[in-house]
Amino acid sequence: MTTIYHALGLHLHQPPGNMLDVIRAAEHEAIGIVHAYDRIVRYAHRYKDTARLHVGMSGILLDQLTDQAVADAYRPYLDIQGMLRGYREADNIELLGMGHFHPIFPLIPKEDWPEQLVYGRQRIAEVFGREPKGFWPPEMAFCMEMIPAIVEAGYEYIVVDSFHIRPLDVGTNQRPDLFRAYLAEFDGAGIAVVPRNRDVSNAQESGMDAGWFSNEVLHKVAESPAPQEPRLVCTWSDGENGGWFRNMSENANFWGYFFSPFMDQVRSGGPIQPIRISEYLAKHPPRQKANVQTGAWNVASTSGVDFSQWNGTTAQKRAVDEVIDVSRSYWELKDKISGREVTEKLNRARKLILEAETSCFLFWGDSWVPKVYERTKPAREALEGVKRAIGWRRR
């Protein structure tokens, strides 16, 4: 009998300052968000024997959740510090890292990749006491050129959207097998890539029940290219967006309506077995190679084949160019300075540049684009101050 494994993943992120902004402007929405975070760990502990969950958290979200001002603002509704301790103690939650400020990696300078990767990974280790093994690309925006930097940062696997997987030894008339992990290589570096099943993930985000999920997975596995082999079904969605996850009625949200019945099904010997991705890869290390075409996941009305959601309008394109230009100015100066005062200005500019790379500032169309310039303008001013201090002139 075929063994079917399920890797359930949730993506958690808030743009800089948003936890405080939301509770001040839309209290009901803020309560829904923070309780969505809390339900993950509550249900992980409730079903410790069967539940195996994956949670990707951005570093900037963790910066906010560990901020005393945020903890105080949410204290009437939830003990955030207690919630974080629950995550730390839940060894059935496999934590994944992201870029610290949740950037669209293919749209930012490659020189900025290492800091985003390392800071994001370090932040998880600081808060939860364990380093993440897996990497979840923000917005699932991925290109093969990222692989060496991701490997260098210490990651062992990447979750990518199944739509973009291109196995290297599959003929033109054969379907790719999306129920297994692959090995992707670039410039001498290799890493395991795990396909996120787009179809079932869409249902996970919008609403499903345990019976439908099991039947759908069994049907898809039966039609897969290698149904007799161990199968991995990886589903991933936002974990705090939409009424499905924010619904305060336990019987009507993701956890009460789908997850609890599914865990009961697993306990009774159902055909699908929850598993950590790291455990699956240890049992079934990938040997078949694949390329992953550049793209993102399907959000809003986009298919994910390009980055039009973040780089489609003239204003968005200009904002992307602005970040690239300011980052270039930083790198031109970085190795040419000394002195505490000058270094502090450079470091301030650096943080603003990395923060300006937050995907949310581009995702919401032109309305949030000004938030990019709210970071790049003072970053430019700080860099100009450094130039004046050292009498720098471009040669």
Residue pLDDT, tens place only, 57-115: 999 999 999 999 999 999 999 999 999 999 999 999 999 999 999 999 999 999 999 99
Question: Beta strand pairing status for 182-186 and 189-196?
Answer: antiparallel
Work out the average pLDDT over 229-234.
96
CB 104 within 8 A of CB 359: yes
Q: What is the pLDDT of residue 305?
A: 85
User: Which whole-number Å values give the CA distances from 265 to 42, 52, 249, 371, in the listed order?
Assistant: 19, 14, 22, 46
Higher pLDDT, 338 or 169: 169
Question: What is the pTM for the complete model shown?
Answer: 0.95
Segments in 90-141 forming alpha helices (H): 113-128
> Using CA atoms, how far apart are residues 104 and 146, in angstroms rounded to an integer?
11
H/E stretch holding 63 reads: helix 59-65
Quickly count: other Cβ atoms within 10 Å of residue 153's Cβ: 21
What confidence tier does 335 reach under pLDDT thresholds 50, 70, 90?
A: confident
What confidence tier does 376 reach under pLDDT thresholds 50, 70, 90?
A: very high
Q: What is the pLDDT of residue 393?
A: 60
Which residues 6+ apart lie within 8 Å of 246 measured at CB?
Answer: 29, 32, 33, 35, 36, 240, 253
Work out the average pLDDT over 297-302.
78
Which residues 6+ apart lie within 8 Å of 352 measured at CB?
Answer: 375, 376, 378, 379, 382
- In degrees and rounded to multiples of 5, residue 159 shows phi and psi of -95, 125
Q: Where are the domains of the chain?
A: 4-292, 312-390
> Using CA atoms, how far apart are residues 180 and 288, in angstroms rounded to an integer?
9
- Burial of residue 132 (CB within 10 Å: 0-12, 13-18, 19+) is buried
Q: Which of 305, 303, 299 is nearest to 362 (CA)?
A: 299
Written as six digits, the tokens of 37 are: 């975070």
Instruction: Enter the DSSP assignment of 224.
Output: S
What confidence tier does 356 reach under pLDDT thresholds 50, 70, 90?
A: very high
Work out the average pLDDT over 291-316.
88
| 304 pLDDT more than 90 | no
| 174 pLDDT more than 90 | no
Residue pLDDT, tens place only, 2-39: 899 999 999 999 999 999 999 999 999 999 999 999 99
| 353 pLDDT more than 80 | yes
Q: What is the pLDDT of residue 338?
A: 67
Question: Beta strand pairing status for 231-238 and 290-292?
Answer: unpaired
Q: What is the pLDDT of residue 170?
A: 67
CB 116 within 8 A of CB 99: yes
- Burial of residue 383 (CB within 10 Å: 0-12, 13-18, 19+) is buried
Q: Does domain 4-292 correspond to CATH entry 3.20.110.20? A: yes
How many angstroms from the chain centroid is the CA of residue 19? 18
Work out the average pLDDT over 121-149.
97
User: What is the total residue count of the chain?
Assistant: 395
